[in-house]
Chains A and B, each alone.
Chain A
Amino acid sequence: MKRRASSYVLLTAGLLVVVFPFLWTLLASFKPESEIRRNPPTLLPAEWTTSNYSGLFERMNMGTAFLNSAVIAVALVVANLLFCSMVGYAFAKLRFRFRNTLFGLVMVQLMVPAIVVMVPQFVLIAKLGLVNTFLGIVLPFVVAPLGIFMMRQFIADIPDELIQAARVDGAREFRIFFSIVLPLCRPALATLGLITFMTSWNNFLWPAVVAQSEDMYTLPVALAIFSNAQATQYGLLIAGAVVVVAPILLLFLFLQRYFVQGIASTGLK
């Protein structure tokens, strides 16, 4: 009993530390600009206002940006779940020449910072005529090396006997993949989906560079307009941050169980 009580105290304290920044952000989004920057800072707004939110939606086409972000994130999640698990399956269970070399090449990509390839990548996308299109924003990320690695590690743990049994029963590779392997991968897929969604949802630089008109802007790109060398409008930015974070929080609440399982079984964070 006593131990339980003390662990609750500890957990509550930990929770407070973790939740506080979110709480502060949420509360700050209802404060007027001058109060946000007041020193010493206030926790509860002295004066409640929704002007940050109304300003946000008035000055920016937030609806469009939200929709763009969502379409891109969902497209990337679907693509990554499908392709990463396919490639991961091949690396884990199929035998072909140069398998380890190819896998090594995939791993090398993990070590190349995205920024280094950004300009050449942009030139490529521009030559393909995909600047300012959804496809241009999505294409470089449809198969992520991290996803391949994750799925390979997970699928490698699936017993070979299961696959061989299916093969003996006459199943082709696609059948084995979709009917046997994929259903067993659910925790890993949930983790990969969540990671992909979060990365895409937060991705700033690439969409900002490829989207050349405001109707193609994603949420972070649209919000960046408010950040200025001289006069950053914190009220709008904070309200925007709440709008950006809310879907991820909701998603996490629903998928939390899988997320934890996935991390435990793949040893990845």
Chain B
Amino acid sequence: MKKKYAIGLLAVALAATACGRDSGGPAEEAQAVDTAKASGSVTVWAMGTEGEKLDAFAQKFEQANPGITVNVTALGWDVAHDKITAAIAGDATPDVSMIGNTWLSEMVKTGAIEPTPADLVDQNAFFPSAWATGVVDGAAYGVPWYVETRAFYYRTDLVKDAKAPATWDEVTGFVKKLKDEGAELGVEQNFRTGSWQEIAPLLYQVGGDFQADGKWTLDTPQMVQALEHWGSFFKDGLAVTNQPTGAFPQTFVAGRVGAFYSGPWMITSMEQEGGESFKDKFAVAPYPKGPSGGTSLVGGSNMVVFKDKPNRAAAWKFLTWLTDPKVQAEWYTTASSLPSVQAAWQEPALTADERVQVFGAQLKDAKPAPAVPTWEQVARVMEVELEKYALGKQDSAATAKRMQEQADQIGTGA
């Protein structure tokens, strides 16, 4: 149901805002900001845990900058997209909002988001992959706030002298060994909601991509190759499809699943699920390398400033504060969100856990999802086809073909 809602809403939102605003032509120029005289109150929307914790965290900014107050409203991820698009259409946006970084291009198209002033924000301070998530049609919008990427988690206690697999070939052998040692369910591969995130790194690792020159490229030899690799685990019984939703990650803690691919948040949630003693029983490794390398998928959230707001100077000042390396490291200890600013990774908070450092290394070789307005729709289509493929109802060639056909119908929104 929700998917249909989102599509309908998107269409309405785009139609409602299309009049009078033109986003064609050359890259948008940013207007200068004078943060020295910043004052007033800044309204910020932020989602989920970040939203809950940011309000208290922002007090430090208020103390350092008398005259500026920051009001954070926490919202649920479920409604965030609809709420922001409606707010744009109704001209009732906050000054600043956190957005999922796959939403950016769609919102930029409405003309409601301010380009980033280059003299204020140094693009080189960020991971290039993270910075790329904020660029639409050659212009940068907002700042990457935190990042996440995917890597390989595995149990270290099941196999003797467990050494993380370095290549695709080794992964298969590694999972076989795990299975022989009691991890009966092998590797966990998500084939339901969010499954495109499993495929994206594999596609990048064979040198493929989701789109080229404004067209979807989902039916390519590379895609088929990525699908074959992913599907081989299902076919060989090294990954299963018969577990109830939500059985994972308990199955990993119980030792029935020996490995999985996921983001940094799993470190904390593993330690919560498994208790104190579980800490030493798992490790994280970079993605095993495919034929063209070990590129992973980068995600995360950006903070954007909305246009025509009286307190834009204060808004930008808040964003520069949020992306200060020290503040980013402190935010990591508050909300476990990985810093998008490279220098923050030298701070003690991040060097303490080597598993966290693996993500830091992986971020240097990571690539975002396509920045096109229709990406969310295409991702949903892919998930449906991937599920059929994982369940053995169609082969890799048919899956690629069907994904391409449907994506072509949706288009790239260009």
A118 at the B interface (CB under 8 A): yes
Residues of B near A21 (CB, < 8 A) are none
Contact A227 B90 (CB under 8 A): no
Contact A227 B9 (CB under 8 A): no
Contact A209 B265 (CB under 8 A): no
Known pairs A119-B12, A122-B86, A208-B82; list 4 more (Cβ under 8 Å).
Answer: A37-B246, A113-B8, A118-B86, A209-B83
Choice from B87, B265, B272, B273 contacting A230 with Cβ under 8 Å: B265
A180–B289 alpha-carbon span in the complex (Å): 80
B223 at the A interface (CB under 8 A): no
Can you report 7 residue pairs joining A to B where beta carbons are below 8 Å apart? A37-B273, A119-B9, A119-B13, A119-B90, A214-B73, A228-B48, A229-B77
A173–B263 alpha-carbon span in the complex (Å): 67
Chain B: how many interface residues by the 8 Å CB criterion?
A: 41
Residues of B near A66 (CB, < 8 A) are none
Contact A209 B82 (CB under 8 A): yes
A213–B105 alpha-carbon span in the complex (Å): 26
A224–B80 alpha-carbon span in the complex (Å): 10
Min CB–CB distance A10 → chain B (angstroms)? 30
A132–B258 alpha-carbon span in the complex (Å): 49
A120–B19 alpha-carbon span in the complex (Å): 14
A269 at the B interface (CB under 8 A): no
A229–B376 alpha-carbon span in the complex (Å): 14
A252–B48 alpha-carbon span in the complex (Å): 33
Contact A231 B247 (CB under 8 A): no
Choice from B43, B76, B77, B90 contacting A125 with Cβ under 8 Å: B90
Contact B9 A224 (CB under 8 A): no
Residues of A near B251 (CB, < 8 A) are 39
A23 at the B interface (CB under 8 A): no
Contact A123 B16 (CB under 8 A): yes
A38–B86 alpha-carbon span in the complex (Å): 39
| Interface SS majority for chain A | helix
Choice from A34, A39, A116, A125 contacting B247 with Cβ under 8 Å: A39
A205 at the B interface (CB under 8 A): yes
A150–B9 alpha-carbon span in the complex (Å): 29
Which residues in window 345-384 of B have CB below 8 A to A?
A: none
Choice from A34, A116, A225 contacting B12 with Cβ under 8 Å: A116
Choice from B51, B71, B90 contacting A225 with Cβ under 8 Å: B51
A214–B269 alpha-carbon span in the complex (Å): 27
Residues of B near A115 (CB, < 8 A) are 5, 8-9
A116–B90 alpha-carbon span in the complex (Å): 15
Which residues in window 249-297 of B have CB below 8 A to A?
A: 250-251, 263, 265, 269, 272-273
Q: Which among A37, A59, A115, A221 has the highest number of chain B CB atoms within 10 Å?
A: A115
Contact B91 A126 (CB under 8 A): yes
Min CB–CB distance B85 → chain A (angstroms)? 7
B212 at the A interface (CB under 8 A): no
Contact B244 A39 (CB under 8 A): yes
Residues of B near A34 (CB, < 8 A) are 250, 272-273
Residues of B near A205 (CB, < 8 A) are 5, 79, 82
Contact B12 A120 (CB under 8 A): yes
